[in-house]
Chains A and B, each alone.
Chain A
């Protein structure tokens, strides 16, 4: 929801970043305010996922120029874990499996790291179990998944639900969801999207990174950005996503060619 008194949460200016000396982001500009839902769309290799990893602080991605302010603070001066504690959340496209580490314990440690930063009391094992039971409902997840190792042997859909469960526990200020819809059947997609909708409020913002319109049938974005060749090529309302659905990305090539970038 676009509101006049909204807080500027994320202010990205002329962001350039590379992986293994290969430039991927070539001047991204984006402002995200509280209460807003943004969708970033684009083809494979357009830089969508790189943008999400750079914001979360993945060590393999190097920022070469540009700035990102998170609530006025230089994001790049913060370690990945510090960003998370301050409320930046990345929902992974491919959540990794961590054998031997109990999901419940992982969720508890993560939740407490964030709570500590918010001056909330840490939850002990018992209080946390009550807390997590409550949150499981957001994604209609079976409590049995708490007893297993983090993501180990989870199906694609279960992994994505586990991501949204983490989001529900961490209560982020800016949630970046990277291809959360990929690999989900329609029922799972509805559950995951329902979770995201429940968690969105006037004080936080969501950045959906997606390929397809179908996620946006479930979550209504305030803004849609089309990324190509490491930049945001066009920004519009949700009608832009519908237009893309009909016309595809061919116009992107033409526009890039016209700008002499392709």
Chain B
């Protein structure tokens, strides 16, 4: 009886599934060198950037789409995608008053108010709609501290030397199939620069919204923390419901110098498709951070609840001596969702440390895989890794897999790996129900208990949100 009722925990109504009716400037479907040049010229880019794109595109043409992940999906037709779509509005908005009210309204509906009066206190937001950034809040206040937080396009104009120096320095344009594609056609994203010794005075956040039905979203995020600097950054994502699949292939690069730290949190809630697996976002993302300096630190926290397909391995290259990498992940799949996600911890410097805590929850007929690499290089003397990968199964038709890869060239490095799989048992559910707690609330209590270690890592403002989101994702008719 319980297995039937858990099966009936169908996809929650996706409340961000609306479409904003707005005129857009689009480039015709299809991908060619011409399209790459057109994107670059539309954005009036300097030559180094055009060259970066062209090199990536030419390399991409020689690559094959990877098929090693435990994911199954129809081949993507790269000629049937729009690579650039921007809401039509005044070329450059001097202030929010000039932003199309429809866009402001869209973000308001998503719970991300951009207007001065209603802003989230102490969180600066960069709002990206389809291919372009439409507004960034609190810029002046951040500028007082020397912090740069703006759209990628603006960064290219205002800080070309930083972009040229750091772009592609962590994830090179020929890193992998999707990174090469992104490098060729990326349209916008966020740029963050925290100068030496500055502790960023507020949370920074980018909110990604896909609106058009046949548009791919290819954003690029670059965050640089100079010596002794620190920042906490959060990204959120939603998309309307379409019965076709949209491609999202982003690249995120983090650079941290001596004693600096970046905390990068993601709450991903792209449209996941319906209960039969029709529609939804294909999310192929390359995220990597480089701890270049001694004692530097990168912490990835992700709550992955959306997308039809998730292919994502936020990684840390631990170069500096005593640098620290962390990866905290909750991946929830339901219905026909598929996720293959994890991390890579590449230990290069001595005494580097990394922690991996991964919690996978599979419900419905979904499939959820953890794939992680821990690598100890020859110089990583005294390095340590601790990994913990837990899976929770809900119902009897979901799958959970763990693929831990361990490579060590350093005998004095320690690697610990723990894994567990549990199923929400009928007896646990009955125990809670026999105390007056409804079936759905019982499931949600147990799921959020399971994720506690990861949620504790989220910035406070978002931890409660994540809890609610998970409950919502599992909500449905109880049989």
Interface residues of A (CB under 8 A from B): 56-60, 79-81, 83-85, 89-90, 92, 95-96, 98-102, 105-106, 109-110, 113-114, 117, 149, 166, 170
Task: Please state if B446 and A80 are interface contacts (CB–CB under 8 Å).
Answer: no
Task: Please state if B449 and A99 are interface contacts (CB–CB under 8 Å).
Answer: yes
Q: Beyond the given A96-B425, A96-B427, A114-B436, please list 16 additional residue pairs across the A-B interface where CB-CB is below 8 A.
A: A56-B430, A57-B433, A59-B1, A79-B433, A80-B434, A81-B435, A83-B434, A84-B433, A96-B431, A100-B449, A100-B450, A100-B452, A106-B432, A109-B441, A110-B436, A113-B438
Q: Is B278 an interface residue (CB 8 A)?
A: no
- With the chains together, A170 CA to B437 CA distance in Å? 12
Task: Please state if B436 and A98 are interface contacts (CB–CB under 8 Å).
Answer: no
Which residue on B lies nearest to A97, using beta carbons?
Answer: B428
Q: Which of B426, B434, B450 has the most CB of A within 10 A?
A: B434
Task: Please state if B435 and A166 are interface contacts (CB–CB under 8 Å).
Answer: yes
Task: Please state if B1 and A92 are interface contacts (CB–CB under 8 Å).
Answer: no
Q: Which of A57, A80, A95 has the most CB of B within 10 A?
A: A80
Give chain A residues whose Cβ lies under 8 Å from the Cβ of B434: 56-58, 80-81, 83-84, 89-90, 92
Which residue on B lies nearest to A62, using beta carbons?
Answer: B1
Q: Is B22 an interface residue (CB 8 A)?
A: no
Give chain A residues whose Cβ lies under 8 Å from the Cβ of B452: 100
Q: In angstroms, how far is the closest chain B Cβ from the Cβ of A86?
A: 9
Task: Please state if B437 and A81 are interface contacts (CB–CB under 8 Å).
Answer: yes
Q: Which of B430, B432, B435, B436 contacts A58 (CB 8 A)?
A: B430
Q: Is B52 an interface residue (CB 8 A)?
A: no
A-B contact count (CB 8 A): 80
Give chain B residues whose Cβ lies under 8 Å from the Cβ of A79: 433, 439
Give chain B residues whose Cβ lies under 8 Å from the Cβ of A149: 449
Within 8 A of A (CB), among B450-479: 450-452
- With the chains together, A106 CA to B444 CA distance in Å? 12
Task: Please state if B433 and A106 are interface contacts (CB–CB under 8 Å).
Answer: no
A-B CB contact pairs (8 Å), 27 listed = A56-B430, A57-B430, A57-B433, A58-B434, A59-B1, A59-B2, A60-B426, A80-B430, A81-B433, A83-B434, A84-B434, A84-B435, A84-B436, A90-B434, A92-B431, A92-B434, A98-B432, A98-B446, A99-B449, A100-B451, A101-B445, A102-B449, A106-B432, A106-B437, A106-B445, A109-B441, A149-B449
Task: Please state if B449 and A80 are interface contacts (CB–CB under 8 Å).
Answer: no
Which residue on B lies nearest to A82, using beta carbons?
Answer: B436
- With the chains together, A105 CA to B448 CA distance in Å? 12
Give chain A residues whose Cβ lies under 8 Å from the Cβ of B448: 100
Give chain A residues whose Cβ lies under 8 Å from the Cβ of B445: 98, 101, 105-106, 109
Give chain A residues whose Cβ lies under 8 Å from the Cβ of B438: 81, 113
Task: Please state if A85 and B446 are interface contacts (CB–CB under 8 Å).
Answer: no
Task: Please state if A98 and B437 are interface contacts (CB–CB under 8 Å).
Answer: no
- With the chains together, A106 CA to B445 CA distance in Å? 8
Q: In angstroms, how far is the closest chain A Cβ from the Cβ of B361?
A: 12
Task: Please state if B1 and A110 are interface contacts (CB–CB under 8 Å).
Answer: no
Q: In angstroms, how far is the closest chain B Cβ from the Cβ of A18?
A: 14
Task: Please state if B435 and A98 are interface contacts (CB–CB under 8 Å).
Answer: no
Q: In angstroms, how far is the closest chain A Cβ from the Cβ of B378?
A: 40
Task: Please state if B446 and A170 are interface contacts (CB–CB under 8 Å).
Answer: no
Within 8 A of A (CB), among B278-294: none
Give chain B residues whose Cβ lies under 8 Å from the Cβ of A83: 434
- With the chains together, A247 CA to B220 CA distance in Å? 82
- With the chains together, A113 CA to B437 CA distance in Å? 7
- With the chains together, A15 CA to B449 CA distance in Å? 38
Q: B85-123 interface mask toward A, CB cutoff 8 Å, 1 = contact, 0 = none?
A: 000000000000000000000000000000000000000
Which residue on A lies nearest to B430, using beta carbons?
Answer: A58
Give chain A residues whose Cβ lies under 8 Å from the Cβ of B427: 96
- With the chains together, A80 CA to B5 CA distance in Å? 14
Give chain B residues whose Cβ lies under 8 Å from the Cβ of A100: 446, 448-452
- With the chains together, A25 CA to B426 CA distance in Å? 21
- With the chains together, A149 CA to B449 CA distance in Å? 9
Q: In angstroms, how far is the closest chain B Cβ from the Cβ of A53?
A: 9
Q: In angstroms, how far is the closest chain B Cβ from the Cβ of A200?
A: 20
Give chain B residues whose Cβ lies under 8 Å from the Cβ of A85: 436
Q: Which of B426, B435, B439, B445 has the most CB of A within 10 A?
A: B435
Q: Which of A59, A60, A98, A102 contacts B431 (CB 8 A)?
A: A98
- With the chains together, A59 CA to B434 CA distance in Å? 11
- With the chains together, A100 CA to B467 CA distance in Å? 13
- With the chains together, A110 CA to B452 CA distance in Å? 20
Task: Please state if A101 and B430 are interface contacts (CB–CB under 8 Å).
Answer: no
Q: Which of B435, B446, B450, B451 contacts A113 (CB 8 A)?
A: B435
- With the chains together, A194 CA to B455 CA distance in Å? 41
Give chain B residues whose Cβ lies under 8 Å from the Cβ of A96: 425, 427-428, 431
Q: In angstroms, how far is the closest chain A Cβ from the Cβ of B127?
A: 35
Which residue on B lies nearest to A113, using beta carbons?
Answer: B436
Give chain A residues whose Cβ lies under 8 Å from the Cβ of B2: 59
Q: Which of A59, A105, A106 contacts B435 (CB 8 A)?
A: A106
Give chain A residues whose Cβ lies under 8 Å from the Cβ of B428: 96, 98
Give chain B residues whose Cβ lies under 8 Å from the Cβ of A109: 437, 441, 445
Within 8 A of A (CB), among B111-169: none
- With the chains together, A117 CA to B436 CA distance in Å? 10
Which residue on A lies nearest to B422, using beta carbons?
Answer: A99
Which residue on B lies nearest to A112, using beta carbons?
Answer: B436
Q: In angstroms, how far is the closest chain B Cβ from the Cβ of A169?
A: 9
- With the chains together, A109 CA to B438 CA distance in Å? 10
- With the chains together, A151 CA to B116 CA distance in Å? 48
Task: Please state if B449 and A59 are interface contacts (CB–CB under 8 Å).
Answer: no
